[in-house]
Amino acid sequence: MNADLVIRGGRVVDATGERRTDVAIADGVIVDVGDDLAGDRVLEADGCVVSPGFVDLHAHLRQPGKEDAETIATGARGAALGGFTAVVAMPNTDPCMDTAAVIREVLDLADGAACEVVPSAAITVGRAGEHLSPMAELAQLGVRMFTDDGTGVQDDRLMKRALEYSSGLAPFTDGASVTLAQHCEVDSLSEGGFMHEGAWSSKLGIPGQPAEAEDLMVMRDIALARATGARVHFQHLSTAGSVELVRRAKASGLPVTAEATTHHFTLTDAACAGYDPVFKVHPPLRTDTDVAAVKAGLIDGTIDAIATDHAPHTRHDKEKPFDQAPPGMLGLESALALALTELDLPLPQLIARMSWQPARIAGIDDRHGGPVAVGRPANLTVFDPAQVWTISGEAMASKSDNCPYEGREVRGRVRHTVTAGEAVVIDGEVQR
């Protein structure tokens, strides 16, 4: 069979192990693996790792509603440049992704994007925490993850109902299960706060968001997961306390999963000292102890996935005073390099946390994260783990440039990305 595309000379790393082999692709599918393969187009992968495509469980693509900060097209371009073949789009758009119409609009806009854009949907209508969204109808459209991200579901009873209801959606999903993902934060403790509550917030005179606001909601949801048997995914864990709670919940056999963002294992609240809102994020950057705990959680597997929480904002919005500026930072194009540079993880484990583990949580492991084998959908990332480069927000594909790593030297860069059999990034240049 004549291949459209051959990835030549790379070292394949997937859930089954490592080997040096070429990969041939035709019609969106891997058609051959072996030595000296030929095809219409060759992507050189000398010195590079070829892995199943990365999956980001957590990105804000801002469309519909805030197209001045990002669009699905520009966000997907950044994702592809970061090696992601799929991103889960958060539902805090305007209008919110809580109805079939908005989900359809997002799917339409995602058609032809540089990576697969998988819409999540809100747990509650308008993310207001009062009424359940039409989960079955949304699940029928392919939604597998529900979240009110940006805020947690505050009401205990409503959250319990949501878990109960969501665990009975199999008739609407061809048997697939759905996951409720929680932004863990008790509002009554963190309301009015703009950074981690601690030594730095005290010195800077900025109202704080205490760590226990996160710990308490993780604690509650673990209790609710135990009571209902439903799957709960914890988003962007940021505290030593919540990592330990998840560790114990997993040890007791509960079906909980967790993600951590790159910024929560690379930056601390000390970064807020200059009052630059580029370092304002939600949950906030925390202490050295928390950073160490998040890293340890990623290394020992307590935390299943590295997510970006990519959250573009216009320069205008990020030039507001610290307490008025919106929270969030760019993450898609720097995630791999930060993970490689900052995490003491062997490559297969690191890729697990960026690819097949998040793919399973997102419910898209039929097409992402699978082994590099004949017959599998061709969603692949080719990266040079040794390349050293300097991060620059301006140089990124995002419409915004609120990158907190400006000028940081990192190691590891995506060379090619193949999404659904198409080379969407070639030699670091995005193709669509």
Instruction: Tell me which residues are annotated as active site.
Output: 309
**Beta carbon nearer to other proteins, 99 or 201:** 201
With CA atoms as reference, report the closest residue to 182 among 209, 217, 135.
Answer: 217
Binding interface with other proteins (CB under 8 A): 197-199, 201-208, 210, 274-276, 316, 319-324
Amino acid at 144: R
**220: helix, strand or coil:** helix
Among the listed residues 119, 180, 111, 47, the one whose alpha carbon sits nearest the alpha carbon of residue 364: 119
**Contact by Cβ (8 Å): 214, 222:** no
- 324 φ/ψ angles, rounded to the nearest 5 degrees: -100, -20
Closest to other proteins by CB, 157 or 203: 203
Q: Distance between CA 361 and CA 120 in Å, rounded?
A: 12
Cβ atoms of 263 and 246 within 8 Å: the answer is no
Report the residue number, 248 or 316, with the smaller CB distance to other proteins.
316
Q: Which of 244, 332, 258, 250 is nearest to 296 (CA)?
A: 244
The CB-of-213 to other proteins minimum distance in angstroms stands at 12
CB of 218 to other proteins, least distance (A): 21
Q: In angstroms, give the least distance from the CB of 325 to other proteins.
A: 9
Between 231 and 286, name the residue whose CB sits nearer to other proteins.
286
Nearest to 7 by CA among 52, 46, 61: 46
> Is residue 430 helix, strand or coil?
strand
With respect to other proteins, which residue has the nearer C-beta, 210 or 370?
210
The answer to whether 68 and 399 are in contact (CB under 8 A) is yes
Nearest distance from C-beta of residue 187 to other proteins, angstroms = 14
Helix axes 335-342, 347-354, angle to 10 degrees: 150
Q: Shortest approach of other proteins to residue 320 CB, angstroms?
A: 7
